[in-house]
Structure 1
Amino acid sequence: MDPNRFQNLFPGLSQAEALATLGKPLEALEDVSDRYLAAAHLVNFPDDETITALMACAADDHPAQAQRIARRKAVESLARLGARQALPVIQNCLASGDTYLVENAVWALAELQAQPKVVTEPLLQLLRDGRQNRRVVAQTVARLGIQEAVAPLEALRQEEDPLLVAAVIAALARLTGNKDGLAALEDHLLHPDVTVRRAVIQDLMDAQAFGALAAITAAPVSPVFRLRGVRHLADQQHQDGVAPAGGLLPLVDRMLRDDPATITLVHRYDTTPGLDFLVQELYGTDFGRVYLAVATLIAAAKDAAAKADTLAALTRSFADRGWNDYGAHYHMIKLFGWLGDPQPLPLVREALANRRPQFQKSRPAAALTLARLDPRQAAPALQDAACEGSFWELRYAALMGLEQLGLPVPPATLADSDWLVALRAKRMACR
């Protein structure tokens, strides 16, 4: 999905207003958070005036908390704007006592491709400083190709923090070319801590671990993380003219279909919980537990009465708060399809048309559920989504839905601007 879709969160705020807010003395602000919001919003106005204002904010070491958080955001915004002229200001932030500012500055150095000879020594010092986020430092020295970091990175392999160790393994693979340790990273995809499972996908991406595509596909995390990882690695191989072993399209199909039976679960129930508990689990942030609940709900709905009870519980919860919780919303839309009852079709169609940024992963889910629940009437909506979808996952899923219904591929998709969508369309056209 589009990584920039959350940037413009204040569409009514003009550049002039944001600049004025960023330049106001702290005591003149109506809300102390306004300076932070201005630094975040200015990323939407990529010009010299914006960059000058953000650089001034990034250089301001006023100790007030409102300025500290604004300064962190200013550094991030400068990096997102590609403002290499801000590198000296950002490099000065490495000496700050604010570890969060240091973290943002380290990340920004990689984003802006700082000259390694200028930043090598401060980065090596940070690698030895246990107060810092050394995971980000490890990622940055690898991205900048700092070979002097190999020895201090090797010394960190025995640390207890799995997030740090995973980043170190990936960084060493990138700097040395030796990928023998990447199998250990795949093991982290099944770590009990969901934060580790999510983070290691980024590490596998950084290490160009092409052999991990299937393992990423089955990892018990949100499909957003899995799709991002698989897509990144697939794009790298596509640029190199290499086809993924075993074929890429079946992996992408599997992730968008997102049947819990294809996920490697890391949790188990001692006894089968009740319906209310299982529905409540859909609101959790650990998708490993959520997928266990989804699989249990599907397995329990064996007869008409059980299906009716499950559907009733889901629709009540959806009306109560599921409509506004993007994680539960996604899983409920999928469950409606697995249960096979057309009763929630209005909710599914609404989800397909829902353009709220946080709910974007529900739209591909809705396309596939619509094809399942309304095979006679789904075609127009799926054809529109396949040709006009604002992000590739939706267009791809719409093609899957059309194929499921035995309908022809829309000709426009054969020349889709996204190579993966076009490849999916061409496969359909050849059948």
Structure 2
Amino acid sequence: MAERFDILFEGLSEEKALELLRTNPEDLSNPVEKYTAATRLAASRSEQSLEGLIEAIQLDPENLFNRITRRKVLEALGRRRDARALPALFTALAFDDETSVINAVDSIAQIGAALNSNQSQKLLCALRGSDNQKRSVIQTHTRLGLAGGEEEIAALEQEENPLVAGAARAYAARVHGRLDRLVPLIHQLTDSIAGRRRAAVIDLGDAGDVSMLPHLVTCPVSMPLRAKSAFQLVDPEKTGTVPTAHSDLIIQLLQDDPAMLSLQKDWICSSNLTEIEKNLQHRDEGKQYGGALSLMNMPQELQIETIDQLRSRYWSDYGANYLLTAVVGLKNVEERSDVVRTALAETLPQYAKSRVAAAWACLRLGLTDQVELLRDIQNTATWIPLKWSCEHALKGLS
């Protein structure tokens, strides 16, 4: 998903980014530019930029801006997916900065290259850290299919922290075929704590068992997170093609009707502007979806009035933007089709999920005047859920 935000750094040249990366932050008028440069170089492809990133792993962490830059560098090397960065990434496993270690571990997984026995042992030793670090190390074992950690990781399936236990269960299922270990993760999808639901969605995607798809689809967490795991299950090679057997569930997920989600009763607020407003601004997506459902259940005249008031206040909030666009489509609010057109035309990366909602809304509302834009998005989008949604909207509108 980070790739979608590369547009934010288009004004910074590679040459300037390398210069900033090598400059002492104390000599910069704005030291933040140094770690911004590291993020910019994640999108580069030159040898010089790769060498610059690898070199920057040795920045002196005593300086706060160097330390943050080093973290961004370790993250950037994962996006570069170049195995030549592996030796440097493994040196970072010995750092005393937990965030740097986690970023290095995640980047090792992203690169996806085969590890030698020494590297595998170093990665396994990285389990001796915080719960967040343990989770990241387990996930990397899962994503790289490393069977050697079976005994150590199996012992973590009973950890009190479900984020560690869930990752360990996903590992057992994916690498050792123990699908029965996933049952607790199904229950975790409806946990009252949002972070646990999100973790379960990620773990089930990693587990690779496509029979988990129906459970993922109805979990009340953000649509993009569910979509990422769902597409892992149905399209692991990232071809953009969904087998017919799973197409209906993917459509259900991307259309994202709050009424189809496993919402707790206390997440659904009363149907008035004040309460809906509170829910849409809540950090828990379950509450957000509960607010959207209350909006959907309003009488049409009051619904339109509420949409207008929420739009005037929160249209720039990409969470509210998405849910308002979705509600207009799901409830066929023809009087507010301009909401759909505006959302579909939005090109800022943080509104990509609103464009998904808008694509389906175009289909429901029969907005044939948007066909050209839908086709353009289908041809240029790199995010598969958006590309796939436009493709299906176009088929329905043709």
Q: Counterpart amino acid of 1:332? A: L
Q: Counterpart amino acid of 1:272? A: S
How far apart, in 2, do the equivalents of 1:94 and 1:269 lie? 41
Do 2:269 and 2:290's aligned partners in 1 also have CA atoms closer than 8 Å? no
User: What does residue 315 of structure 1 align with?
Assistant: 308
Q: Alignment partner of 1:284: what SS? A: coil
How far apart, in 2, do the equivalents of 1:238 and 1:34 lie? 34
User: What does residue 201 of structure 1 align with?
Assistant: 201
Query: Which consecutive unaligned segments of at least 5 residues does structure 2 have?
Result: none
User: What is the 5 A alignment of 1:16-415?
Assistant: 16-112=15-111, 113=113, 115-130=115-130, 133-236=133-236, 243=243, 247-268=245-266, 272=270, 274-299=272-297, 301-302=298-299, 307-320=300-313, 322-373=314-365, 375=366, 378-382=367-371, 384-386=373-375, 388-389=377-378, 390-391=380-381, 392-398=384-390, 400-401=392-393, 407-408=397-398
Count of residues paired in the alignment: 393
How far apart, in 1, do the equivalents of 2:268 and 2:305 lie? 26
How far apart, in 1, do the equivalents of 2:242 and 2:327 lie? 36
Once the 2 structures are TM-superposed, how far is the Cα of residue 292 of structure 1 from its aligned partner?
1.5
Do 1:87 and 1:114's aligned partners in 2 also have CA atoms closer than 8 Å? no
Normalising by structure 2, we get a TM-score of 0.90
Q: Counterpart amino acid of 1:275? A: L
How far apart, in 1, do the equivalents of 2:115 and 2:128 lie? 21
Once the 2 structures are TM-superposed, how far is the Cα of residue 384 of structure 1 from its aligned partner?
4.2
Once the 2 structures are TM-superposed, how far is the Cα of residue 269 of structure 1 from its aligned partner?
5.5
Q: Counterpart amino acid of 2:186? A: E
How far apart, in 1, do the equivalents of 2:332 and 2:50 lie? 53
Once the 2 structures are TM-superposed, how far is the Cα of residue 81 of structure 1 from its aligned partner?
0.9
Once the 2 structures are TM-superposed, how far is the Cα of residue 206 of structure 1 from its aligned partner?
1.6
RMSD between superposed Cα atoms in Å: 2.5
Q: Percent identity?
A: 30
Once the 2 structures are TM-superposed, how far is the Cα of residue 116 of structure 1 from its aligned partner?
3.9
Q: Counterpart amino acid of 2:326? A: K
> Structure 1's 336 and 93: CA in aligned 2 closer, same or farther, altered over 3 A?
same
How far apart, in 1, do the equivalents of 2:263 and 2:176 lie? 33
Once the 2 structures are TM-superposed, how far is the Cα of residue 76 of structure 1 from its aligned partner?
1.4
Normalising by structure 1, we get a TM-score of 0.84
Query: Which consecutive unaligned segments of at least 5 residues does structure 1 have?
Result: 409-431
How far apart, in 2, do the equivalents of 1:274 and 1:287 lie? 19
> Structure 1's 132 and 114: CA in aligned 2 closer, same or farther, altered over 3 A?
farther
Once the 2 structures are TM-superposed, how far is the Cα of residue 402 of structure 1 from its aligned partner?
5.5
How far apart, in 2, do the equivalents of 1:323 and 1:290 lie? 15
> Structure 1's 15 and 251: CA in aligned 2 closer, same or farther, altered over 3 A?
same
Do 1:116 and 1:145's aligned partners in 2 also have CA atoms closer than 8 Å? no
Q: Counterpart amino acid of 2:166? A: A
Once the 2 structures are TM-superposed, how far is the Cα of residue 27 of structure 1 from its aligned partner?
1.4
